[in-house]
Amino acid sequence: MENESLLMLPGPVPIPERVRMVMMRQAINHRGSEFGSLYAECVRILRPLFGTTADLFILSGSGTAAMEAAVANFGKDRKIASLVNGKFGERLFKISQRYGNAFDIGSTWGTPLNLELLESHLEEGAELVTLVHNETSAGIKNPAEEVGKLARKHDALLIMDGITSIGGDVVEADRWGVDIAFVGSQKCLAAPAGLSAISVSKRAWDRLSEKRPYYLDLAAYRKSAAGTPMETPYTPAVTLFLALHQALLIVEKEGISARIERHRRLSRAVREAAQAWGLSLYPTLDDHHAYSNTVTAISYPSGIKDSEMRGIVKKMGIEIAGGQDSLKGKIFRIGSMGAVNAPEILATLAVVEHALRKLGYPVRGNGVEAACEVLV
């Protein structure tokens, strides 16, 4: 793939050839039966990835559009408790502030959520909880099931951002009590960016806000999806639907469990490499199950500059991510999302190890070998 960097980011991720090929097709009419079947097929394959049998729609907008759709359709003028331990939790809080009476239940980025404070807000009448399942900005996976139990106990709706977990990690929206969940196309599904999918529980429909936005009005999506052929209320990004469909056929062929297991193994390989090098993961967690399975954040040792390190890696044709906002310069992040495979992880680790050495960090052990042990 000359001229193209290997994107080992927490999205966008490399897109399989078959998915890209289909976008060469000529435009099709989005009010016809072919598009309707395509949409229905996408929904059929997506539902089990969400762990839901609820309504599910595809929006022509990226993950942030789905975040806003969730909050705007169910949170207007309501009391919203926003769990925040990273950039995307913060974004959901900011969106919540634009629509409702939002409370920031914040912890330092990458540290566990403050569930005691959540409970007190629920006791005081919070009607909606927002949660990011997999917080890529901080490499942490949040305990969605636990949050779901608390929300149900207090009869609040739960909005869960599954943008970077759905399709790469276990998500059981219905069992966990998640009312609204959403995913982005360019993360674990390995499709091009620009679409998001959102599920809505029966409980949530019963509490639909009366005043809603227009382009992201989920009641309009419900109405159009119920027609024959299945449609979207406004012109969808048809080409991206074609691509998402191919990406989902790949997911279906691999099988959900196998796909999740692959994500687990790849991210564990990255963690083992970091530890072999003598570096600390970010955050430092006791319980290994709370590390993200789709991205790994590693703390820079003192003296290593982010731009230099990622510059060397980029020169070799691989893009990894730095930290965002308050974590800028403090961490680097390696994605293991979507269609990423063992050779790509190994090449990435090899060049990172090389860069660390070149920049004067006394690499303790052979990280690439440690990763091989996990991957073989």
Write out the residues near its own copies by the rule CB under 8 A.
1, 4-5, 7, 9, 11-15, 20-21, 23-30, 32, 60-65, 67-68, 72, 94-95, 98, 184, 186, 192-195, 211-216, 234-240, 243, 319
Nearer of residues 152 and 222 to its own copies, judged by Cβ: 222
Nearer of residues 2 and 116 to its own copies, judged by Cβ: 2
In this structure, the strands spanning 331-335 and 180-184 are unpaired
Nearer of residues 80 and 368 to its own copies, judged by Cβ: 80
Rounded CA separation 299/285 (Å): 13
Quick one: which of 59, 67, 122, 118 has its CA closest to 95? 67
Closest approach of its own copies to the CB of residue 241, in Å: 9
Q: Which amino acid is at 295?
A: V
Closest approach of its own copies to the CB of residue 210, in Å: 11
Closest approach of its own copies to the CB of residue 285, in Å: 27
Closest approach of its own copies to the CB of residue 174, in Å: 27
Task: List b or e across 93-131, with b for residues whose CB sees 16 or more CB atoms inside 10 angstroms.
Answer: bebbeebbebbbbbbebbeebbbebbbebbeeebbbbbb
Closest approach of its own copies to the CB of residue 370, in Å: 28
Distances (CA, A) of 130 to 73, 100, 183: 13, 12, 14
Rounded CA separation 181/266 (Å): 25
Nearer of residues 200 and 244 to its own copies, judged by Cβ: 244
Rg (CA), the chain: 21
Nearer of residues 209 and 296 to its own copies, judged by Cβ: 209
Closest approach of its own copies to the CB of residue 295, in Å: 15
Tokens of 244: 């998402």
Nearer of residues 9 and 126 to its own copies, judged by Cβ: 9
